[in-house]
Amino acid sequence: MQVIYTDGGRANTEYQGRENYDCTVVALANAASLPYEQAHNILRKSGREDGDTHWMEQGLAVYESEKLGNVIAFETRAMLDDFLKEHPEGRFIARKQGHVFAVVDGIVHEDIIFSRSSTLSRYTRILKSWRIIPREEL
Protein backbone atom coordinates (compact mmCIF):
# COMPACT_ATOMS: atom_id res chain seq x y z
CA MET A 1 0.00 0.00 0.00
CA GLN A 2 1.52 3.27 -1.11
CA VAL A 3 0.86 6.32 1.09
CA ILE A 4 1.74 9.93 0.35
CA TYR A 5 1.67 12.22 3.39
CA THR A 6 0.56 15.68 2.34
CA ASP A 7 -1.03 18.79 3.80
CA GLY A 8 -3.03 19.41 0.62
CA GLY A 9 -1.33 22.80 0.24
CA ARG A 10 -2.11 24.09 3.76
CA ALA A 11 1.54 25.14 4.41
CA ASN A 12 1.25 27.83 1.74
CA THR A 13 -1.86 29.44 3.21
CA GLU A 14 -2.93 31.56 6.13
CA TYR A 15 -4.30 28.38 7.75
CA GLN A 16 -0.85 26.91 8.47
CA GLY A 17 -0.67 26.47 12.25
CA ARG A 18 -4.35 27.40 12.69
CA GLU A 19 -6.05 24.28 11.35
CA ASN A 20 -5.46 20.94 13.03
CA TYR A 21 -8.57 18.86 12.45
CA ASP A 22 -8.92 19.55 8.76
CA CYS A 23 -8.77 16.08 7.24
CA THR A 24 -11.95 16.94 5.30
CA VAL A 25 -10.23 19.95 3.71
CA VAL A 26 -7.04 18.04 2.91
CA ALA A 27 -8.99 15.07 1.48
CA LEU A 28 -11.11 17.33 -0.75
CA ALA A 29 -8.06 19.31 -1.92
CA ASN A 30 -6.20 16.11 -2.80
CA ALA A 31 -9.07 14.14 -4.34
CA ALA A 32 -10.49 17.03 -6.38
CA SER A 33 -7.08 18.52 -7.20
CA LEU A 34 -8.08 21.87 -5.70
CA PRO A 35 -5.97 24.47 -3.93
CA TYR A 36 -6.28 24.11 -0.14
CA GLU A 37 -7.95 27.52 0.21
CA GLN A 38 -10.62 26.64 -2.36
CA ALA A 39 -11.36 23.34 -0.61
CA HIS A 40 -11.47 25.20 2.72
CA ASN A 41 -13.95 27.75 1.30
CA ILE A 42 -16.19 25.01 -0.12
CA LEU A 43 -16.39 23.36 3.29
CA ARG A 44 -16.93 26.69 5.03
CA LYS A 45 -19.90 27.35 2.71
CA SER A 46 -21.31 24.00 3.82
CA GLY A 47 -21.23 25.11 7.47
CA ARG A 48 -17.85 23.79 8.59
CA GLU A 49 -15.96 25.94 11.08
CA ASP A 50 -12.17 25.85 11.48
CA GLY A 51 -11.13 22.76 13.42
CA ASP A 52 -14.38 20.90 12.73
CA THR A 53 -13.91 17.44 11.27
CA HIS A 54 -17.46 16.60 10.15
CA TRP A 55 -18.78 18.21 6.97
CA MET A 56 -17.74 15.92 4.13
CA GLU A 57 -21.19 15.20 2.69
CA GLN A 58 -22.33 18.81 3.00
CA GLY A 59 -19.07 20.02 1.45
CA LEU A 60 -19.41 17.66 -1.49
CA ALA A 61 -22.93 18.98 -2.10
CA VAL A 62 -21.46 22.51 -2.33
CA TYR A 63 -18.69 21.18 -4.63
CA GLU A 64 -21.35 19.86 -7.02
CA SER A 65 -23.64 22.90 -6.72
CA GLU A 66 -20.74 25.15 -7.76
CA LYS A 67 -20.37 22.92 -10.83
CA LEU A 68 -16.77 22.03 -10.00
CA GLY A 69 -17.40 18.37 -10.75
CA ASN A 70 -19.54 15.34 -9.99
CA VAL A 71 -19.64 13.16 -6.89
CA ILE A 72 -20.80 9.55 -6.70
CA ALA A 73 -21.34 8.17 -3.19
CA PHE A 74 -20.79 4.51 -2.26
CA GLU A 75 -21.61 2.60 0.91
CA THR A 76 -18.34 0.72 0.78
CA ARG A 77 -17.80 -1.47 3.87
CA ALA A 78 -14.52 -2.84 2.51
CA MET A 79 -11.01 -3.19 3.86
CA LEU A 80 -8.64 -0.54 2.49
CA ASP A 81 -6.53 -3.16 0.72
CA ASP A 82 -9.60 -4.48 -1.14
CA PHE A 83 -10.78 -0.94 -1.91
CA LEU A 84 -7.42 -0.13 -3.52
CA LYS A 85 -7.53 -3.30 -5.61
CA GLU A 86 -11.10 -2.56 -6.75
CA HIS A 87 -10.30 1.08 -7.58
CA PRO A 88 -6.81 1.28 -9.10
CA GLU A 89 -7.78 4.40 -11.02
CA GLY A 90 -9.86 7.43 -10.19
CA ARG A 91 -10.19 10.02 -7.44
CA PHE A 92 -11.91 9.09 -4.18
CA ILE A 93 -12.51 10.32 -0.67
CA ALA A 94 -12.71 7.44 1.79
CA ARG A 95 -14.20 7.60 5.28
CA LYS A 96 -13.18 5.38 8.14
CA GLN A 97 -14.30 5.79 11.72
CA GLY A 98 -13.59 9.42 12.66
CA HIS A 99 -11.40 10.30 9.66
CA VAL A 100 -11.39 10.88 5.90
CA PHE A 101 -8.55 10.71 3.38
CA ALA A 102 -8.05 10.76 -0.38
CA VAL A 103 -7.21 7.92 -2.72
CA VAL A 104 -5.94 8.98 -6.14
CA ASP A 105 -5.17 6.34 -8.75
CA GLY A 106 -4.74 3.66 -6.10
CA ILE A 107 -2.44 5.74 -3.87
CA VAL A 108 -3.55 6.85 -0.40
CA HIS A 109 -3.09 10.58 0.25
CA GLU A 110 -3.07 10.98 4.03
CA ASP A 111 -2.95 14.26 5.96
CA ILE A 112 0.64 14.84 7.09
CA ILE A 113 -0.65 15.75 10.58
CA PHE A 114 -1.49 12.05 10.98
CA SER A 115 1.85 10.77 9.65
CA ARG A 116 3.05 9.72 13.11
CA SER A 117 -0.24 8.56 14.52
CA SER A 118 -2.04 7.26 11.44
CA THR A 119 -4.02 4.12 12.03
CA LEU A 120 -4.39 3.44 8.32
CA SER A 121 -3.43 -0.07 7.34
CA ARG A 122 -4.46 -2.53 4.69
CA TYR A 123 -7.08 -3.76 7.22
CA THR A 124 -8.66 -0.35 7.79
CA ARG A 125 -12.42 -0.63 7.31
CA ILE A 126 -13.75 1.91 4.81
CA LEU A 127 -17.29 2.88 5.80
CA LYS A 128 -18.16 5.13 2.89
CA SER A 129 -16.46 6.55 -0.16
CA TRP A 130 -17.14 9.19 -2.75
CA ARG A 131 -15.81 9.17 -6.28
CA ILE A 132 -14.79 12.67 -7.29
CA ILE A 133 -14.90 13.56 -10.98
CA PRO A 134 -13.50 17.07 -11.51
CA ARG A 135 -15.20 19.16 -14.21
CA GLU A 136 -12.18 18.89 -16.53
CA GLU A 137 -12.48 15.07 -16.46
CA LEU A 138 -16.19 14.97 -17.35
For the chain of 138 residues, list the mean pLDDT of each consecutive stretch of 10: 92 78 92 96 91 83 96 91 96 93 96 74 94 93
Is residue 126 within 8 Å of residue 84, measured between CB atoms?
Answer: no
Q: How far apart are CA 131 and CA 44, in angstroms?
A: 21
Residue spans per domain, the chain: 3-137
Is residue 133 within 8 Å of residue 69, measured between CB atoms?
Answer: yes
CATH, domain range 3-137: 3.90.70
What pLDDT, in 10s, does the model give residues 25-62? 999 999 999 999 999 999 999 999 887 776 789 999 99
Torsion of CA 65, 69, 72, 76, to 10 degrees: -110
CA distances from 60 to 1, 55, 82, 132, 134 (A): 26, 9, 24, 9, 12
pTM of the model: 0.92
Is residue 51 within 8 Å of residue 21, measured between CB atoms?
Answer: yes
